[in-house]
Amino acid sequence: MTGVKSSEQINILDTDAIFQNGGSCGFTTSGNTTFTQRAVTVGKVKVNESLCPAALETKYTQKALQIGSKYDSIPFEQQYTDQKAGTIAQQIEIALWQGDTGHSNVNINKWDGLIKLIDAAAAATNANQAAYIAGAPITTSTGITTSNVKAIVAAMWLAMPANIQGKDDIRVFCGWDTFNKFIAAYTDVNLFHFAPAGTEVSAANGEVIIPGTNYRLTAVHGLDGTNRLFTVRMSNLYIGTDLENEEEKWEIFYAREADEIRFISLFKYGVNVAFPNEIVSFKLS
């Protein structure tokens, strides 16, 4: 959703179809169509940094500085901006999942992320229960291990609501820590061939087809260290921003009045889901 400067609504249309006895004349209305909304509220972010080229004279970078004592650029500008943009992207990925406007961490308190929003809706199916995982729910004292991770991932598709089963845009999202345990669990039993080859879907790219299904297990850094998994349709996820890929647009310039190099990046981001009741959530009990 582009052009979002503060908040926009996800407009949701839902309708049923009530079968009536045919073979007769007349009209009897039956059924309901509802129009609802869920808000995507963006956070407004800026990244400002100033660099003093003169401070580089005492470091290994002195050999790369331009000749003379007046500098209007930095010698490693491309490397610096590439790394800065990459760091911003990594922090956005974390905030999209872990964002919490009430948190003290300034890198995740600019908007509410998917974990908070899905939990607050209280409509997702809980996969951590005996109906989907053999035995008792998995506790925090046990955690996610190579011994139980296959059962956990299986629960994520076994618990899916019937109306989304078989959809081709379903993803089971997890952190890279859980993803690696899943890969290890299969290689430990010598099922080295289970992960498909290719550049689009491969373990190296953090995405594999869950054996025996057509569903993908997808690793995201936004869930690292959370012990959370979510099954969700991609079409159920909404990101709000003012300008697409705005975080990739930045400016670096020489500020003559301060005799320094300045970096500026400005962007807006927010996220939400349209149908919380179509999501499966795993959380240690």
Question: CA 239, CA 274: separation in Å to the nearest integer?
Answer: 11
Residue 34: per-residue pLDDT? 78
| Nearest to 194, CA basis, from 175, 166, 213 | 213
Is 11 within 8 Å of 37 (Cβ atoms)?
yes
pLDDT in tens, 87-136: 999 999 999 999 999 999 999 999 999 999 999 999 999 999 999 987 78
Residue 221: per-residue pLDDT? 95
CB-neighbour burial class of residue 254 (10 A; exposed 0-12, middle 13-18, buried 19+): middle
Residues in the chain: 285
| Nearest to 246, CA basis, from 269, 262, 263 | 269
pLDDT band at 30 (very low <50, low <70, confident <90, very high): confident
Residue 248: per-residue pLDDT? 72
Strand partners for 136: none
pLDDT in tens, 46-62: 999 887 777 665 555 55
Strand partners for 267: 45
pLDDT in tens, 177-231: 999 999 888 877 765 555 554 444 566 678 888 888 889 999 999 999 999 999 9
Residue 237: per-residue pLDDT? 94
Question: Mean pLDDT, to the nearest integer, of 140-165?
Answer: 94
